[in-house]
Structure formats: C-alpha cells, structure tokens
Structure 1
Amino acid sequence: MTEAKRPVVLILGAGGVGLSLAGALAGVARVAVACRPRHAATVRRDGLVMEGVWGDRIVREIACIAGPEEAPSAPDLVIITAKGFDTRAICEEYAAVLRGSTVASLQNGIGNEEIIAEYAGTVIGGTVTTNFSVVGDGHVKAKSQSSPMVLGLWSGPDDESLQRLVALIRSAGILVEAVNDIRSAKWSKSLLNLSVNPICALLSIPVGKAADLRLRSVIEHIVSETFAVMEAGGVRTAWPSAKDYLDYLFSVQVPDFATAYPSMYYDIQAGRKTEIDLLNGYVAGQGERLGIQTPYNRCIADLIRFREIDGK
C-alpha cells in the first residue's frame, strides 16, 4: 500500500493504549497521535519502543502533535483512547476535527460514546482487554491480551466505517471482532473493571488477591447491584445472572490477570484522577435514575474519590 493510499488515523490520548495502538497501526496507516511533550520528544528523536504481545520493535512512522492546529484536517478515522473523565474536554478541543468524522472510543467505563456522539458523525464503541503499561517516555508494553478487541456501531448511519476499522486493525496483526450490540459489550467489559479494579486500587493488591474469601462478599454485592441496574435499563450480556458472571469472574478473568495491577491502582499511587465516575459511580447514578438501591457501588465510588483527593 502506497503512503498516499494509506488511511489517515488520528489518536487522541497517548497513554499505554493510545501509544501502543499508534505503534501497531503505523505499519498500515498514516498515524498522528496527540502526545504529552515528554513522549513526543522521545518518539521524534528515538522512535516509539514497543514490547509485548503486540510485537517487539521500534516504530518511527508516527507524527506526534501538540494540539488541534497540528492535527490532520480531515482524518479518515479518529480514535479516542484518553481517560474517560477527559472525554468532553478533548471533544471540545478537537470539535472542528470531529465534526462529521467517524470517531471510535477505546476507553474504559460507560458513557463516553454518549458524549462523543454530540460532536461526531458516526460513533464506534470499543473494548480492549489487553493489559498495557507505559515503561518510560516513548516506551510501552502490551503485557497480555485475554480476548480480542471488540468494536461495534454506537450511533450514526455509517456501518461501512466499522467494517473498515475492523479490517484496518486486523491488518495490523491485532485480534479484533465486530459485534451487533456494542452496548452489551461495553457493560460486559466494565463488569471486570467495576467489580475488581476499585478494590485492588484501595487495598494496593494485584487482581489475583481479589479472589480472597474476605473480599468476595463485597464483590458479589457490587455485581448484583450492577445486574439489577442493567436489567432495568434493558442491557443484556452473555451472563444471564449475577451468579453466572461471578462464576466467570473468579474462574477465568481473575486468574487471567492474577499478577496485574489495574490502571486505577496506578492512578491512585500517582495521585491522578480515576475513571470511577464511569464505572461504579455511573452504576450508582443510573440506579438513582431508575429507582434501584446501589449502596455498595456508591460506597466504593466514594472511597475512591476520597483516595483521589487525599492520596495515601
């Protein structure tokens, strides 16, 4: 494929997910990524160092940008990988670029796509179950991938954009699949994040420790409340009941990520804001709207918010 025919992809959010995706897609697309100055300087000088399940290599074919004035004027695709609490601010900043564009969200939590849909023409929702880390400036590692990336049309008329995105990501060697009900997929992915991540962040433990019998009751209540909210909201997942999901959580997901610390843990340790308002906080908010009691989700969200402010 010649350089002129390669699709132009703009990635907004240069953490572990965004930089890894930029590096993977650089071989099949012309990629621009909004980078922090420290990452941008290193990538421009030395290239992006990638390690892990997405390949070990140095990638130099990435354009690092500092703001919308440096962004491609008409990208074929925009992918937002930023933290969910920054979604609206990013959409406001890049509103002129997003207007009428196809925008994909590869972000944790629930609710990002609703915000993006206010600015974009076609919105594609997505989930990623790969464990990423930023090793250093311009250096990322994809530690493990327990299942394929999932993408689905959230809003807008352009289903062809979804098929093109899936084909592009697959051509970069990344496992990916398209689904008809991306809302179900987003909630399904969030179940792991809201049931385990806050507890690991609060207690400074890896995911495997969440299987401790002394923690299971709390996790069971969080999941049961979430399933009640999903049922009231008409959301269905692959697990018919909270018990079915809990069986899967402790037999498959927790062992798969046993030695990993969730991103929320690193956020707390670094004194950064977390995505709790798009996880347990979102469940609590939807529960209030639907008349469903969610004391465990509300409590865990308040505890994380306290840690965000008061740190260790």
Structure 2
Amino acid sequence: MRVCIIGAGSVGLGLAAFLLNAGWSVCFITKKGKTEDLKRGFRVYGLFGDFEFLASEYCVSEDYASCEGCDYILITAKSYANREIAESLDRTRDKIENSKIVVIQNGWGNSEIFKEFFGKEKIYTARIITGFEREKPNLVKITVHADQMVIGNIFDKMLSFDVEDLVEALNNGGFEAKVSCEVDKHLWAKMLYNCALNPLGAIFGVEYGKLAESEHSRNIMDRVIDEIYDVMESYGYSTFWETKESYKKIFYSKLVPITAEHRSSMLQDIENGRKTEIESLNGVVVKLAKDKGIDTPFNEFLYRSIKFLEG
C-alpha cells in the first residue's frame, strides 16, 4: 500500500514511522524549501519504541502530483492550511481518483472543507490523543498517550469500515488504532479536552498537569467546558458524557493525569513563532455560538489571547 502524508510535522512523521514499520510506502508532501529537513532521514522515539529511517526508505516532494496512485492521503498539516491543500489536491483530481483522504487534525470543521471538493465518500476523519513533540526538524518524541487512534467517516458512518486496511497497518506498525462509526463523538470529546487545556497551557507556558492544580485555572477550564456543552446541545451534537459534570469528573480524574507532563502543540507553536490552530478550536466554538446567539465569553477570551500571542 502507498500513502502520501501532507505535512511533515510531528504527527506526520510519527504516523509515517508506524506505517513504514508495517511495510507501507510513504511519500511526504512538504512546503517549498522544507524538503532538506528530511534528506538526512528521521527518527521517532518515546512511548512506542525507537524508529529510525534513512532518506532512501521514503520519498519527499513539493509537488502534489506525487500523490498519483496512492491508496491514502493523510492530512496532518496545520488546520489553517486546509483550503489551500484542498485546492492543490483538486488540481490533481485525476491522479487521486481512487485515493481516500484522511483528515488528522485538532478541532472541528476540518473535514467539511475537503468534503466541499471531493464529496463525503472520499473523506475520512481521525482523532488522536497522543503527544508528539518535534525536538528537531527530523526528530520526534512521543511523550504521552491517552487513548487509541480512531478513524471513520463522519458523513456516512457505514463507510467507516473502508479504512480497515489503514487501521491494521498502524496496529501492525506498533500504534494503537481502530475503526469507529462515532468519530464525531470522539472529535467533540477531544474539542472539550483541547479547548480547555491547549490555550491555557500556551498562555501560562505550563504543562497540562499544572493547570489542574490551581482552583483559578480549574475554574476557567470548567467554564470553557460548560460553554462548549451549550454549543453542542444547540446544534444537536453529542459526545460520550451526557452532562457537563460527568465529563469534568473524567477530565480531572483520568484525562489530565495521564497527560500531565505534556506541553501543548499550541505552546510549542507560540514558542517557535508559528501560527496556531486556535481558529479550529476555541475559534470555531465562538463562531458556532454566535450563529446561535449563545454567549461564550471564556472561549472568546482564550481565542483572543492566543491571537494576541500569535501577533
């Protein structure tokens, strides 16, 4: 099987390691001028083992035409680049006619952009709650792992089983994954987690565990979670916990403790002067809320604070 990975960041390199380990052929599609980073090979180490690959074991390209004939296209680039990526793929539509596109990003609303161009049958969505930290351009450390990766189709649930070969390859390569017909619920669960932790961790410059230790930061996270539940309910969305309080109980007792040492990707982006994914996290909560006339002051404050730090 052949896979193209658009975005050779920490998640892209991390997943590539497991697919290469499973015997799949991997090609990275990177931005102009970024191919040099991977010409020395790359290494992924941490919780799942230590994997190192020579440049001769994969390909790197700046040309989307390199996706021709691939079985899967994994979108692991930052979500703010989605429309540009979708337009570039659309220009090579005839070359990827039989390719499945899997969107692997933080936030809500990312897969919808690709659906505009390619329809619901071709677009799959994945949720990851694993900490990938890029220590160098070609060195990634896996620091924390809260749950197995889930992949499915949020637009037509029965199509979810069409990605079983990808799931099997990830498992064979050493990374826990499964097919799910409830990826939308998993995505909202991760939205609750990310929107509460990522921006606060970036603003205060601390690991997730520190945020749960103070009553002041806990109060902010509680209010962020409350607002997201209000938005979800207004649109008819749901997740695995029926009430705000039942989610908070598992959030503080399980989810934060097992990722206590993790520094959010948003904090890493701020420290490195990069644009963040705040638009598809708290930003999309604010937008959805405004369309329904709902006030979300805590999510909006975090959104505007991160936009300030980006600037």
Q: Calculate the TM-score normalised by the size of structure 1.
A: 0.91
Cα distance between partner residues in 1 of 2:161 and 2:150? 16
2:53 is matched with which residue? 59
Tell me which of the two structures has the higher relative contact order, counting C-alpha pairs closer than 8 angstroms and 6 or more residues apart.
2
Deviation at 1:100, TM superposition (A): 5.7
Cα distance between partner residues in 2 of 1:209 and 1:141? 21
1:113-152 equivalences in 2 (<5 Å): 113-120=111-118, 121-152=121-152
Deviation at 1:271, TM superposition (A): 1.8
1:176-255 equivalences in 2 (<5 Å): 176-211=177-212, 212-255=214-257
The answer as to whether partners of 2:151 and 2:160 remain within 8 angstroms in 1 is no
Deviation at 1:39, TM superposition (A): 5.9
Deviation at 1:80, TM superposition (A): 0.3
Deviation at 1:171, TM superposition (A): 2.0
Q: Percent same amino acid among aligned pairs?
A: 30
The question of 1:44 aligning with 2:46 is answered: no
The answer as to whether partners of 1:122 and 1:158 remain within 8 angstroms in 2 is no
1:3 is matched with which residue? none
Cα distance between partner residues in 1 of 2:161 and 2:222? 40
Among 19, 35, 56, the alignment partner of 1:25 is 19
RMSD of the TM alignment (CA)? 1.8
1:4 is matched with which residue? none
2:155 is matched with which residue? 155
Q: Calculate the TM-score normalised by the size of structure 2.
A: 0.91
1:67-106 equivalences in 2 (<5 Å): 67-69=63-65, 71-95=66-90, 96-97=92-93, 101-106=99-104
1:109 is matched with which residue? 107
The answer as to whether partners of 1:24 and 1:54 remain within 8 angstroms in 2 is no
**51-60 or 127-136, which moves further after superposition?**
51-60
Deviation at 1:159, TM superposition (A): 4.2
Secondary structure at 1:9's aligned position in 2?
Answer: strand
Give unpaired runs (5+ residues) of structure 2: none
Distance of aligned partners of 1:39 and 1:51 in 2 relative to their CA distance in 1, 3 Å threshold: farther
Cα distance between partner residues in 2 of 1:160 and 1:254? 31
Secondary structure at 2:117's aligned position in 1?
Answer: coil
The answer as to whether partners of 2:67 and 2:73 remain within 8 angstroms in 1 is no
Distance of aligned partners of 1:159 and 1:241 in 2 relative to their CA distance in 1, 3 Å threshold: closer
How many residue pairs get aligned? The number is 301
Deviation at 1:114, TM superposition (A): 0.3
1:290-309 equivalences in 2 (<5 Å): 290-309=292-311
The answer as to whether partners of 2:289 and 2:296 remain within 8 angstroms in 1 is yes
